[in-house]
Structure 1
Amino acid sequence: MYGEVDEWEGLADRYLGEERDYEADVKKFFVAIKDRPPKTVGLMLSALRSFLEENDVELHPKFWRKVRNKKRGNRAQTLDRIPSNTELRRIVSHMPIQGKALYLSLASSGMRIGEALQLGLDDLDLDSDPVKIEIRGVYTKSGNPRITFISGEAKEAIEEWLKTRNQYLVSASSRSRYDKPVEDRRLFPFKDNTARLIWINALGKADFKKRDPGTKRYTIHPHVLRKFFRTKMGPVIPVDIVEALMGHEGYLTEIYKRYSDEDLAKFYKQGESSLLIFTETGEISKIKQEIDERNKQLQTLVNGLTAENVTLKARIEIIQRQILEANERIEKLEKLLSKAPKLT
């Protein structure tokens, strides 16, 4: 507005100290941002409204509704693309270990990136199978806590990351211009922009750096990992459980009433193989088929042995009865012989 760079607070004070037509300013602001994605426009208008109201500038709700109604739709406009397991493997393979740990966790849990970056070291149980993650209410979009799980691949990456995490903190602290603390209890002690830079660099190296022609955003971005999780798990386990693990508010209460953490873990294990990216799903299916076939063969053998055992038991019982009858006859003969007159 002022065509100059200054301290934000100074510019805000200057603006509020002038005689302004606030509605006209909001309209100009809207015109300047209206071609951006709808969600971005909505967030920017919400931020502007909050700023004005905090400074005792209240515009009529009807005015805000009119402005919002001029937005182009309500859904994200970027035509994003969900990567296949193989494509995701190519992307993650180009990441440092902290990136592998983060993005394998996102792809196999349905978490939002903002939730994952707030996780504390005490929020995950590496000894459970599958690894359980406690997502606190303060981390979530809805304010509701929940649990989710990560794959064995993500667990291995996290364990490797934890071996170098302290070294990373020391190095990051020494390079920082903002006195970055060495002590940080977060599992992933870095900011959103660092996480996204890891993703973008890997995207370029994997040759997937394609942008949407309209929004200029990358078609494969971190948020599509939630869609990856849903499309892979949805056909395997009940959809309401998938939605609850992802944190969709309408499903959480009902799911936690019906299922225990142990039940949810069992459901997750049923679908975990579909989330693996460093092991081919077809290979896993083949191994499962081989195991199932061996189990059938073993069961057939056990059933045969059981049947033979039953037959042997029946034969043994018959023989035992025959022996018992023979012994009784011998006793009778011995008694008869004892009463017979002796020959002299």
Structure 2
Amino acid sequence: MSYVSDTTTREEFLAERNTRSRQVAQVALHQFDIFCNALYDKDGDVLIQDIKSTGIFEKSYTLLNQFSMWLSEDHLDISVPMGKSSRPMTKRMPRTIYSYLVVLKSYFEEFGGIEINDRRFKKRVKVPKKITIELEPFTHEEIRLICDIASSDRKTLYMTLKDSGMRVGEAIQLVKSDIDTGKNPIEIKIRAETTKTKQARTTFVTSETSHMLVNRLHQINDADFVFATNSDPIKAVRNETLMFKYYREKAGLTEKYSHNGRHKKNIHSFRAFACTQVAEVHGEEFAHGYIGHTKYLPMYIRRKEKLPQMFKQCENKLMIYERIEVVDQDERVRQLEEKQEKSRIDMIALANIMTQLADIRADNAQKDLEIKQLQNMLENR
């Protein structure tokens, strides 16, 4: 059955992936084509087929390593199309390079029929080390500044993001029926198909956000998107990124990291803010589960019944306009015990005073009796 192909085409390879993964794969393969043409004057598909025809699969690791090194350098003589314009080819960050290589490993196997051994890959293909620095989180004042500048709809989105810790890609896929305004706090069900981890979870908003969100929901139907400006999730996220860029510049929050040139404040910073504030109350593991990091989701889900109460305990940390008194169960018990102890001490003190008063009255009565006896003795003389 030689007429049945044992490999996939590029189109089939891309079609098998979900929307987000397909977008990453398309960019990775396009970058690989640019690299192959620049170094070998051939498209990537042709080079992969050439390697397969030689039977010397070790060359695959050499090619992938060259691609990794090439991505970690600027190539200002190469123009990359960007819509109707173009920009010079600049180096990619280590995480981006790694994600491209993951795509290429699969592509070598599915398109080229070349198996990539993980051990050999780790040994032969070098990925530049990621520079780790302490990221600067949003402050309450900075979020308030952005929200005060933003339009009403964008302000509602930003307030929801800073409370819920949702990814913007999750938020723009919310529909009205995903939000339960009958719960206190308001409950948001994030559907599994809209998450990066493909795991559903529940999140909430604070009392200062709830009235804005309810007002927004009154304007739409159950099946309508709450925040999305486009039915295509990728385009909707791009729109929100551009809108945030506008408000960020208007607010003057344009400072960048020196090691990668990226802005310190971006639309994902709302998510980091939520994680930081929740961690101050319930610890980092729960906080990472709350915002949907895969590693910590099981522990978060195990506390499902207590989630509303746990969120309430974080509410004061998350709010940027209002402040409420948040007292947890243990604190209430402690305060009650203190009041009871104070009452007990006061009762003892009062009993002591009453005893002293009784003694004084008895002493006075004895003295009155003695005085009368003396008066009678004097009168009888």
TM-score under structure 1 length normalisation: 0.65
- Aligned position for 1:27: 65
Deviation of 1:132 after TM superposition, in Å, equals 0.5
- Aligned position for 2:320: 277
SS in 2 for 1:148: strand
Is 1:267 aligned to residue 310 of structure 2?
yes
Is 1:157 aligned to residue 195 of structure 2?
no
Segment of structure 1 superposing worse, 114-123 or 240-249: 240-249
Residues 110 and 225 in structure 1, CA contact (< 8 A), matched pair in contact too: yes
Given the alignment, which residue of 192, 200, 213 partners 2:258?
A: 213
Residues 130 and 265 in structure 1, CA contact (< 8 A), matched pair in contact too: yes
- Aligned position for 1:118: 173
- Aligned position for 1:42: 98
Please give the alpha-carbon distance, in whole angstroms, between the structure 2 residues aligned to 1:4 and 1:257.
49
Residues 78 and 219 in structure 1, CA contact (< 8 A), matched pair in contact too: no
Q: 1:202 to 1:212 in 2, by over 3 A?
A: same
Please give the alpha-carbon distance, in whole angstroms, between the structure 2 residues aligned to 1:69 and 1:14.
23
- Aligned position for 2:142: 87
Residues 290 and 300 in structure 2, CA contact (< 8 A), matched pair in contact too: no
Deviation of 1:184 after TM superposition, in Å, equals 6.8
Code of the residue aligned with 1:214 in structure 2: it is H
- Aligned position for 2:154: 99
Q: Report the aligned-residue RMSD.
A: 3.7
Please give the alpha-carbon distance, in whole angstroms, between the structure 2 residues aligned to 1:255 and 1:245.
6
Residues 253 and 265 in structure 2, CA contact (< 8 A), matched pair in contact too: yes
Please give the alpha-carbon distance, in whole angstroms, between the structure 2 residues aligned to 1:192 and 1:83.
20
Deviation of 1:268 after TM superposition, in Å, equals 1.1
Q: 1:273 to 1:23 in 2, by over 3 A?
A: same
Deviation of 1:79 after TM superposition, in Å, equals 5.4
- Aligned position for 1:61: 118
Deviation of 1:238 after TM superposition, in Å, equals 5.5
The one-character-per-residue Cα deviations of 1:176-210 (angstroms, maximum 9, x if unpaired) are xxxxxxx9743222311111111111110100011
Deviation of 1:29 after TM superposition, in Å, equals 1.7
> Superposition pairs for residues 303-342 of structure 1, below 5 Å?
none
**Between Structure 1 and Structure 2, how many residues are aligned?**
266
TM-score under structure 2 length normalisation: 0.59
Code of the residue aligned with 2:225 in structure 1: it is R
> Superposition pairs for residues 216-231 of structure 1, below 5 Å?
216-231=261-276
The one-character-per-residue Cα deviations of 1:99-118 (angstroms, maximum 9, x if unpaired) are 22222111101222222222
Code of the residue aligned with 1:25 in structure 2: it is L
- Aligned position for 2:226: 187
Residues 176 and 223 in structure 2, CA contact (< 8 A), matched pair in contact too: no
Q: 1:102 to 1:53 in 2, by over 3 A?
A: farther
Please give the alpha-carbon distance, in whole angstroms, between the structure 2 residues aligned to 1:54 and 1:184.
38
Please give the alpha-carbon distance, in whole angstroms, between the structure 2 residues aligned to 1:38 and 1:184.
40
Please give the alpha-carbon distance, in whole angstroms, between the structure 2 residues aligned to 1:32 and 1:200.
30
Please give the alpha-carbon distance, in whole angstroms, between the structure 2 residues aligned to 1:259 and 1:160.
27
The one-character-per-residue Cα deviations of 1:20-62 (angstroms, maximum 9, x if unpaired) are 8544432332112225322111111112222222202433333
SS in 2 for 1:93: helix
SS in 1 for 2:187: strand
SS in 2 for 1:44: helix
Deviation of 1:151 after TM superposition, in Å, equals 1.6
SS in 1 for 2:174: coil
Deviation of 1:234 after TM superposition, in Å, equals 2.3
Q: 1:184 to 1:216 in 2, by over 3 A?
A: farther
Q: 1:251 to 1:58 in 2, by over 3 A?
A: closer
Residues 118 and 139 in structure 1, CA contact (< 8 A), matched pair in contact too: yes
Please give the alpha-carbon distance, in whole angstroms, between the structure 1 residues aligned to 2:118 and 2:289.
34
Code of the residue aligned with 2:198 in structure 1: it is G
Deviation of 1:126 after TM superposition, in Å, equals 1.8
Please give the alpha-carbon distance, in whole angstroms, between the structure 1 residues aligned to 2:46 and 2:150.
46
- Aligned position for 1:172: none
Residues 35 and 67 in structure 2, CA contact (< 8 A), matched pair in contact too: no
Q: 1:101 to 1:66 in 2, by over 3 A?
A: farther
Deviation of 1:71 after TM superposition, in Å, equals 2.5
Given the alignment, which residue of 288, 311, 319 partners 1:243?
A: 288
SS in 1 for 2:150: coil
Given the alignment, which residue of 203, 207, 211 partners 2:248?
A: 203
Q: 1:19 to 1:222 in 2, by over 3 A?
A: same
Residues 79 and 219 in structure 1, CA contact (< 8 A), matched pair in contact too: no
Q: 1:68 to 1:212 in 2, by over 3 A?
A: farther
Deviation of 1:92 after TM superposition, in Å, equals 2.0
Given the alignment, which residue of 128, 153, 157 partners 2:183?
A: 128
